[in-house]
Amino acid sequence: MDIRDAFISQYGETGVIKVISAPGRINMIGEHTDYNDGFVLPAAIDKYVTLVGALRNDRLVKIYSQDLDDYTQFSLDMIKPDNEHPWVNYLAGVIYLFLTRGYVLRGMSLAFTGNIPIGTGLSSSAALEVATAYLLKSLHEIEISPIEIIKLCQRAENDFVGVKCGIMDQYISCLGRGGQALLIDCRTLEAKPVPLLNHQVGLVIANTKVKHNLVESGYNQRKQECEEAVKLLSELIGERKRALRDVTIEEFAMYGHRLPELIGRRAKHVINENQRVLTGMTALTQGKFIEFGKLMIESHQSLRNLYQVSCSELDLMVDLACQVRGVYGSRMTGGGFGGCTVSLVQTEQVTEFVKFVGDGYVQRTGIKPEFYICSVVDGAELAN
Ligand code: GLA
């Protein structure tokens, strides 16, 4: 059923109905760099969360998830994390933060659906947060800038859901540009569009079907390890560094070996990955896909060996991808611990890719993977 119809069958006819969609994303390169004030290169994809809402005359927020066929409600005067309906926390967190920032809200009836597979590293969570923020903005005619929305949504996930995520996912879901990746400086929050594909090159996303849950995974632990690395490197170098972004490759070469082994690995990944993003951006701008592809593979190896956020299924998917002719590069995308890979593939080889990688993956794991051939779209700010 169309989500508008689902809304009406849930709530009956209401006042003015608004509909907002926010996209998921892939990240081409720059993984686990955002919360280190570093660089990322994501792109919004044509998979969305769509949220429908109307204002109410009371203080209740009623929410229906069409995909889970689940319903819950809460009062604007008592919002707290809900363990029974964990999905509602993405919306409730954003609503809560609007209220704490002083925006005046009325009760709402809401319903949503989506085709971003959940827990696969394609940012279904950020898309739901961003859709919620744009719906609040539109229903209540609130003046709020995209950057404020992005920060607020990130904060909602940090505080309400408990994942200490960086800003990449919310940023690209808001401000993505059709056909382009964005080089985002996660410290200044400035971004530069980078042309991503031409008619000869396509993006294939491969879903390992191994689910990750960042709330329980080692995500927050990685963040702490990076903070520890900054502290220790500042002492070793004798200069205060705000984030791993501020440590140069040369400084790391001089002092990195004096870090505890595990912390050293984490820091090395982040410092090199930042450089890979910058080199990769130049390569993509010049249409040098071979060079960019090599960086993608290096990035994956680093995430596997140094940052240790890959898993055997992701590694297998990347290995199989690299055996297909016409593949420039392949890597895990998103937080890791399962989820999806992204591969840059010559358009004429995409069918072969899906067959070869799909067959090989089923044979080795017994799991039937899914493939999505995606186009790169505008974020919620431009799309709505
Ligand atoms: C998740 C987080 C992002 C980012 C990536 C890893 O998607 O939400 O902020 O840290 O993992 O690059």
Q: Domain containing 121 — which CATH number?
A: 3.30.230.10
* Any domain includes 282: no
The residues that are catalytic are 169
* Any domain includes 197: no
Report which of 231, 222, 233, 226 is spatially closest to residue 258, judged by C-alpha positions.
233
* Any domain includes 207: no
Ligand 1 atom 8: residue of nearest CA = 165
* Any domain includes 330: no
Q: Which tokens in the block code for residue 26?
A: 């892939």
Q: How far is the CA of 40 from the centre of ligand 1 (A)?
A: 10
Question: Residue 117's Cα: distance from chain center in Å?
Answer: 12
Report which of 364, 382, 8 is spatially closest to residue 173, judged by C-alpha positions.
382
Q: How far is the CA of 363 from the centre of ligand 1 (A)?
A: 30
User: Are the C-beta atoms of residues 220 and 163 closer than 8 Å to each other?
Assistant: yes
Paired strand residues for 24:
45
* Any domain includes 49: yes
User: Are the C-beta atoms of residues 104 and 148 closer than 8 Å to each other?
Assistant: no
* Any domain includes 297: no
The confidence score (pLDDT) of residue 33 equals 98
Ligand 1 atom 11: residue of nearest CA = 335
The confidence score (pLDDT) of residue 384 equals 79
The confidence score (pLDDT) of residue 197 equals 78
* Any domain includes 143: yes
Using CA atoms in the order 57, 61, 65, 66, what is the torsion angle rounded to 10 degrees? 0
SS3 label, residue 127: helix
User: Are the C-beta atoms of residues 217 and 335 closer than 8 Å to each other?
Assistant: yes
* Any domain includes 50: yes
One-letter amino acid at 129 equals E
Report which of 145, 146, 165 is spatially closest to residue 156, judged by C-alpha positions.
165
Indicate which atom in ligand 1 lies nearest the CA of residue 33.
Answer: 12
Tell which one of 34, 124, 186, 189 to mutate to probe ligand 1, the residue whose CB is within 8 A of the most ligand atoms: 34
Q: How far apart are CA 244 and CA 271, in angstroms?
A: 7
Q: How far is the CA of 9 from the centre of ligand 1 (A)?
A: 36
Q: Which tokens in the block code for residue 109?
A: 């009836």
Q: Which residues line ligand 1 (CB under 6 A)?
A: 31-32, 34-35, 165-166, 168-169, 334-335
The confidence score (pLDDT) of residue 214 equals 62
Q: How far apart are CA 209 and CA 121, in angstroms?
A: 11
Q: How far is the CA of 308 from the centre of ligand 1 (A)?
A: 14
Buried b (16+ CB within 10 A) or exposed e, 84-100: ebebbbbbbbbbbbbee
Per-residue pLDDT of the chain (384 residues; tens, 9 = 90+): 899 999 999 999 778 899 999 999 999 999 999 999 999 999 999 999 999 999 999 999 999 999 999 999 999 999 999 999 999 999 999 999 999 999 999 999 999 999 999 888 999 999 999 999 999 999 999 999 999 999 999 999 999 988 899 999 999 999 999 999 999 999 999 999 999 878 899 999 999 999 866 656 789 999 999 999 999 999 999 999 999 999 999 999 999 999 999 999 999 999 999 999 999 999 999 999 999 999 999 999 999 999 999 999 999 999 999 999 999 999 999 999 999 999 999 999 999 999 999 999 999 999 999 999 999 999 998 877
Q: How far apart are CA 60 and CA 77, in angstroms?
A: 9
Which residue, chain included where needed, has tokens 């409600």? 73
CA angle centred on 24, ends 208 and 101, rounded to 5°: 130
> Looking at the 3D structure of the chain, how many domains does it have?
1
Q: What's the domain range around 169?
A: 3-28+40-192+378-382
Report which of 371, 382, 330 is spatially closest to residue 44, judged by C-alpha positions.
382
Q: Which tokens in the block code for residue 271?
A: 């410092």
